[in-house]
Structure 1
Amino acid sequence: MTLFKAGLRATAIVAAALAMAGCASQMAGGPSSKPSNPADAAAQAAETSHYKTAVREYMRAASQASQPAAQRRYRLEAGLAAAQGGDAQTAQQLLGGIDPSQLDPTNQARYNLAQREISIAGMSPDQALTHLPKPARNTAPAVAQRVWEKRADLHFANDEPVQGIEALVQRDVWLMNDRAMRANDNRIYDKSLDAIGLGIGPNSRAAKDAGKTTRGWLALAQIGQQPFADRTARDKAIAQWQKQYPGHPANRTILADRFHYKNATQVTRQKPGQMLNGQAPQPTSDQVALALPLTGQFQNAAQAIRDGFMFAYQNNPAGMPQPLIYDSNTMSPQALLSRAESDNVGILVGPLDKSKVQAMSDLSLPMPEIALNTSSDADQRPGFYQFGLAPEDEAASAAAHAVQAGYTHALALVPSGDWGDRVLDAFRSALAARGGQLVGYQTYDESSHDHSQAIQQVLANQNNADFIFVAAQPLQARLIRSQLKYYHAADLPMVTTSHAFSGTVNPGEDIDLDDVHFVDMPWLLGHGGTITRLRSEAADAYGDEAKSYARLFAMGMDAWLLAHKLDQSGLSTGQPIEGMSGVLSIQPDGYIKRYLGWAVFHNGRPQTLSMPSISQAKSGDSYAQQQQKNNAGNGNSLSAPRSGNNAVAPTAAGPSTSSQSTPAAPSSSGNDASWSSGD
């Protein structure tokens, strides 16, 4: 018997003893209504993760349906349930006769996920997890919750109970009905009991990096496993637990179902991707502190961000004291918090490295914080903002601009691995949200110079596509563009992210990228007036830091802009801010999304076509509104302008530009995926 199975058996014995003693009622779940037909029975089974039953009932519904459309729909749902339940053979048989191009965007995304689940069915849990990345922030809820559940299954199969519980906690955010949430809560609690039986409690080494919600589940399961002298003592422990974990989702049904505990605590339901409602801490002083790893692995990136931050402060101090600078590489998260409190800091900006941002997100800070990377927790505390150069934002912006230009059917070519998966998922979701469709994609090996196989495979769907999205660094982007031409796809418009542009105008190298469209930040694309003056002043004052790391320098400038705005009036959804790294839009979960400009290579030089606008961010860049704008003018066509004088002037709401071709922009790296937001 494995240690894991032995722990489960021990858990069952203890749980049974406690149930007999009356300390906790280990009920399997809450009340449910009896389904009236096979389709309802199947839906209920799927919502509660009983996938074999769901497959059987959906097939029964298909056999009873008189309309072909209904039969196809039920067969699709049966195939999706089989894939989610791990029955790859049945899923393949059921989905084999379905044409995904005939599905709506959400069901197409579900179908694509099912195909990925089928492909990983024979892999080890470790391998499968690498091929099933976490869902992007703008993923459809029906898809995101499935991904999190599958990742939870894989972690549990890999004897990683804490990571599995964390995945189910993330899944909860995306569930859309009470029955599914109740079933998910019961599974989390059962898995938490299993973890306690294995000696994994909320303060154990295995849970040290877990989020606060996950630790709350473990702490509650610890109470459920603990013998008490009487019910009063147990209820006192639960009341103390509620104070330590306010607003915890276990307050919804678990306390009543499992402990018969009369619960007076209200739980506010989260929207997908949104943190629990609560009062965000307000700045208690005008003092801002910037925490960056100024020594160690990320020091070059940190120094560029620091210089941009101080440059922006010096240009607009707004009567605020000079920011304090901390080297976060030499401080633990708790030490960083203690230092900020002792210095009477009103706003903390940073840190940069992802692991430390994750740790800071779990602390209860008395001041608002603008982290310079993202945390993977969905249930962020109020007052915790996340800002960085996320590649997902760039992929989504590329999709939005392409649709605005009238292109809706895409091929995609992305590097293999987690970074490519994240970019692809963000691009696909943004495209689908605007009525577009990804008709085919392939991954390529970044270490190779020959991408002929991947290109030929993706071009097999060329007749169904009107453009291709490529995610690549400059060298690979040039190679791929040349090889696309070799395979007679020169007329297929190519769209990419800022990663394809080094930031240095280099006509000799970038001539291979002619007619390629890409998104990038105003600091590199804008010119004329204020932005040109600021770039010149930055280069004079900071030299190589401002030139070689231009995108990071701009990120630092915007970090100060956000801190200043937070101090003066707060950061609010629906109130975008014009920044140098993009138009910044604060999302309900504290994530700060960037809207980017649009450019094209002509004679090896980037030419600006449009800049991001406040109105674009306010509208959420919806497909209908973008189409309306597109019909009003022809400035965003994917056809490259043939002279600088034909470049389209950006919208007036964006940073100052002119209608002339973009001059030499400062050089920039700053796309290093090893540190950038969202790693």
Structure 2
Amino acid sequence: MTKNHACKAFIISLSIFLLAACVTNQQSKRSNSNIYGASSGESAEFYLAEAQKYENDQAANFKLKAASVFAQQQRFEQTYETIVSFQPTQLTPNKRNAYYLLKGESALRQQKPFEAIRALQSVTSPELQSPAWNLHYQLISADALQANQRYVDAAITRIEAKDLIKDKSQFEQQMQLAWQELSQSPLGALESKRSRAESYDAMAWLDLAITNQRFANNARLLSEGLNSWSKTYPEHPAYQYLSTESMTVRDIEFLAPKKIALIIPLSGRFSSVGGAIRDGFLAGYFQSRQIQGEQPEVVIYDSANGESIEQIYQNAMFDGVEMVVGPLLKNNIDELTRFNELPIPTLVLNRLSSDFAPANMYQFGLPVEDEATQIARYAMRNGQTRAFVIDAEPSVGQRAMQSFTQAYEELGGTVVQTATIGRNQDPKEEITRLLGVDKVEQRTDELQNLLNLPIESSGHGSANADAIFLIANAKRARIIKPYLNYYYAYNLPVYATSNIYNGTSNTRIDNDLSGIRFTDSPWMLSTNKAISKLKNNLAKTLPSSSKNLGRFFALGHDAFMVVPEIGQLSALPDSAMEGISGLLSIDSYGRIKRQLAWGHYVKGEVQNYIER
């Protein structure tokens, strides 16, 4: 699971703080009982006055009574000042526990947690005191341990005191606080405490916390661990304190096929694309086998062998396949959409144009719509609320423009002007119209003819925008970007889709692209050392893994990797999986969405761009 651990840790810490404050208030209310031992009805000032009349042991006894009254009145500053004015050795042994409790609690209230825990640890045989006294002592000790960041010790102290708690709301608060403290504890501290645990309760709580933390980033293992814990500790109440997300993970039905079919074109027009997907799929297979051991059997079918896709699908089922990945081409996928439900889980390698899909079908492709939407959201986050859009890519331009415009306007942005540039069209006319430069030049010519004087055009258009969304390949963009610079749009950020990058850059010819930011897969941009290492290892044996076909290689790789995670991604809307094609999540229609990385051209060279 892709949780923000720093944020999660902060939330847990804040929850502990707030809940501890609530619990402290309840303890304060309980303190009006005779826990502190002062019962004569005299004031603290009376006892302090009496102490002035005596020395040594007798004075200490009166000061102890004064401190007890101060504590009953929640005047812990005065309690602390009084209690540290004499030594416990001045008291008889049967009164020293009262001294240490008063000193520990008052020190804790004075933000002296280390002094508090030292005093409280000096108490002897608290179980011989009254149940109310012992409970108060145990919970104050837990608070002191927590204040010293000894979270696991604080939690176990609360858990072991639970049988002393008679109030239901207080019981619930203490158990919630115990679970939050266990969740805050380092895994090593939990395991160390577990190795010394003796009680069934302590072992149950610790094992649950260890399982929840150890497998926090692997939903499958977390599910298995939670189910194993439930069998070991059936109906144990600790389970109810798990987060809703963890509870959901336990009940997820993970896909665990023993045999997977990969249906892709391996002959004909799209064979190179199919080959790249196959190579990526097998690379994912071998990578997983190296890390996790045995993997499902993979059977590969050529979707371009002349048979209908329905027949190939039936052949795969006859061969005992339990999961299908593919087909790739939309016309093949359309054949499958005639069914209301597919007989086995199927991950098609493209995105349907409509929201309808048969049950048991998931969609995973490289749609430009994801990129356009991401760019629109990024521009709006950066306060760029007015945009020009340039479509110079006939194959995907309209889809990209439509997705960008929809997402942008939903967020409150305005598309000021659009320009569509044909494949063989000189872009100058459309660029000048887009920027409003044509009107400026026309007005300049009119004034020059009227006044019969030479007038220099400023080149500035009347239309204004904060950003430009460019849909073009690198060849077309090398022509368009200089026009933008020439007509004074050089200061506007230019965003582009991955079409602008083919996997390599040439500083000599790509210098004109400098400044353009674009979305692309982590694989294409080599966003981390692990990806760079894998690319280098595969460069010679699998040349299809880089350059133009690299995105399809990444698609194939992640298609294998995502199969066991589909259950988690479907059940947990906020979960995501790190892939080499992007950060992957699933929407309610079974479509795998990609959050892509960012690159930008700097002096003609592509570099990673850290999203701000």
Q: Would you say the 8 A contact 2:388–2:469 is kept in 1?
A: yes
Match of 2:605 in 1: 605
Match of 2:430 in 1: 454
Paired residue secondary structure (1:594)? strand
Residue of structure 2 aligned with 1:295, choices 267, 280, 297: 267
Question: 2: CA distance between counterparts of 1:387 and 1:513?
Answer: 30
Q: Would you say the 8 A contact 2:521–2:582 is kept in 1?
A: yes
Paired residue secondary structure (1:365)? strand
Q: Would you say the 8 A contact 1:414–1:470 is kept in 2?
A: yes
Tell me whether 1:554 sits opposite 2:531 in the alignment: no
Q: Would you say the 8 A contact 1:304–1:546 is kept in 2?
A: no
Select the structure that is richer in helix. Answer: 2
- Quickly say closer, same or farther: Cα 1:484–1:373, change in 2 above 3 A: same
Paired residue secondary structure (2:580)? coil
Of all paired residues, the percent bearing the same amino acid is 34
Match of 2:316 in 1: 340
Residue of structure 2 aligned with 1:376, choices 328, 339, 353: 353
Aligned counterparts, 1:431-510, within 5 A: 431-448=408-425, 450-460=426-436, 463-510=463-510
Q: Would you say the 8 A contact 1:412–1:442 is kept in 2?
A: yes
Match of 1:353 in 2: 329
Query: CA shift at 1:417, angstroms?
Result: 5.0
Paired residue secondary structure (1:329)? coil
Question: 1: CA distance between counterparts of 2:569 and 2:486?
Answer: 55
Tell me whether 1:321 sits opposite 2:293 in the alignment: no
Query: CA shift at 1:547, angstroms?
Result: 4.4
- CA-to-partner distance for each residue in 1:37-72, whole Å, 9 max, x for gaps? xxxxxxxxxxxxxxxxxxxxxxxxxxxxxxxxxxxx
Residue of structure 2 aligned with 1:387, choices 333, 347, 364: 364
Query: CA shift at 1:579, angstroms?
Result: 0.8
Residue type of the alignment partner of 2:518: F
Residue type of the alignment partner of 1:559: A
Q: Would you say the 8 A contact 2:255–2:565 is kept in 1?
A: no
Q: Which moved more, 1:528-537 or 1:595-604?
A: 528-537
- CA-to-partner distance for each residue in 1:287-326, whole Å, 9 max, x for gaps? 1110001011100000001001100110003422331100
Match of 1:422 in 2: 399
Question: 1: CA distance between counterparts of 2:548 and 2:367?
Answer: 19
Query: CA shift at 1:453, angstroms?
Result: 1.2
Query: CA shift at 1:411, angstroms?
Result: 0.5
Query: CA shift at 1:380, angstroms?
Result: 1.4
Residue type of the alignment partner of 2:386: H
Tell me whether 1:310 sits opposite 2:290 in the alignment: no
- Quickly say closer, same or farther: Cα 1:404–1:499, change in 2 above 3 A: same
Question: 2: CA distance between counterparts of 1:464 and 1:569?
Answer: 42
Question: 2: CA distance between counterparts of 1:281 and 1:299?
Answer: 35
Match of 1:532 in 2: 532
Query: CA shift at 1:283, angstroms?
Result: 5.3
Query: CA shift at 1:574, angstroms?
Result: 2.7
Question: 2: CA distance between counterparts of 1:312 and 1:416?
Answer: 32
- Quickly say closer, same or farther: Cα 1:285–1:578, change in 2 above 3 A: closer
- CA-to-partner distance for each residue in 1:432-473, whole Å, 9 max, x for gaps? 23322211111111223x101111111127643111111001
Residue type of the alignment partner of 1:402: A
TM-score by length of 2: 0.51
Paired residue secondary structure (2:358)? coil
Q: Would you say the 8 A contact 2:285–2:560 is kept in 1?
A: yes
Aligned counterparts, 1:130-279, within 5 A: none
- Quickly say closer, same or farther: Cα 1:366–1:321, change in 2 above 3 A: same
Residue type of the alignment partner of 1:339: N
Query: CA shift at 1:487, angstroms?
Result: 2.3
Question: 2: CA distance between counterparts of 1:598 and 1:368?
Answer: 33
- Quickly say closer, same or farther: Cα 1:572–1:387, change in 2 above 3 A: farther
Residue type of the alignment partner of 1:405: N
Question: 2: CA distance between counterparts of 1:509 and 1:389?
Answer: 27
Q: Which moved more, 1:398-407 or 1:579-588?
A: 398-407
- CA-to-partner distance for each residue in 1:253-273, whole Å, 9 max, x for gaps? xxxxxxxxxxxxxxxxxxxxx
- CA-to-partner distance for each residue in 1:138-187, whole Å, 9 max, x for gaps? xxxxxxxxxxxxxxxxxxxxxxxxxxxxxxxxxxxxxxxxxxxxxxxxxx
Query: CA shift at 1:386, angstroms?
Result: 0.9
- CA-to-partner distance for each residue in 1:512-553, whole Å, 9 max, x for gaps? 011111111111223443122111122143134544521111
- Quickly say closer, same or farther: Cα 1:535–1:602, change in 2 above 3 A: same
Match of 2:574 in 1: 574
Q: Would you say the 8 A contact 1:358–1:376 is kept in 2?
A: no
Query: CA shift at 1:421, angstroms?
Result: 1.5
- Quickly say closer, same or farther: Cα 1:603–1:418, change in 2 above 3 A: closer
Paired residue secondary structure (1:379)? coil
Question: 1: CA distance between counterparts of 2:503 and 2:347?
Answer: 26
Q: Would you say the 8 A contact 2:369–2:403 is kept in 1?
A: yes
Question: 2: CA distance between counterparts of 1:577 and 1:365?
Answer: 25
Q: Would you say the 8 A contact 1:281–1:382 is kept in 2?
A: no
- Displacement over 6 Å in runs of 4+: 567-571
Match of 1:4 in 2: none
Question: 1: CA distance between counterparts of 2:378 and 2:574?
Answer: 21
Paired residue secondary structure (2:561)? helix
Match of 1:26 in 2: none
- Quickly say closer, same or farther: Cα 1:403–1:598, change in 2 above 3 A: farther
Paired residue secondary structure (1:297)? coil
Paired residue secondary structure (1:380)? coil
Q: Would you say the 8 A contact 1:498–1:518 is kept in 2?
A: yes
Paired residue secondary structure (2:347)? strand
Q: Would you say the 8 A contact 2:263–2:324 is kept in 1?
A: yes
Question: 1: CA distance between counterparts of 2:281 and 2:332?
Answer: 20
- Which 5+ residue runs of structure 1 have no aligned equivalent? 1-279, 611-634, 637-679
Q: Would you say the 8 A contact 1:408–1:436 is kept in 2?
A: yes
- Quickly say closer, same or farther: Cα 1:473–1:339, change in 2 above 3 A: same
Match of 1:183 in 2: none
Paired residue secondary structure (2:508)? helix
Q: Would you say the 8 A contact 2:255–2:564 is kept in 1?
A: no
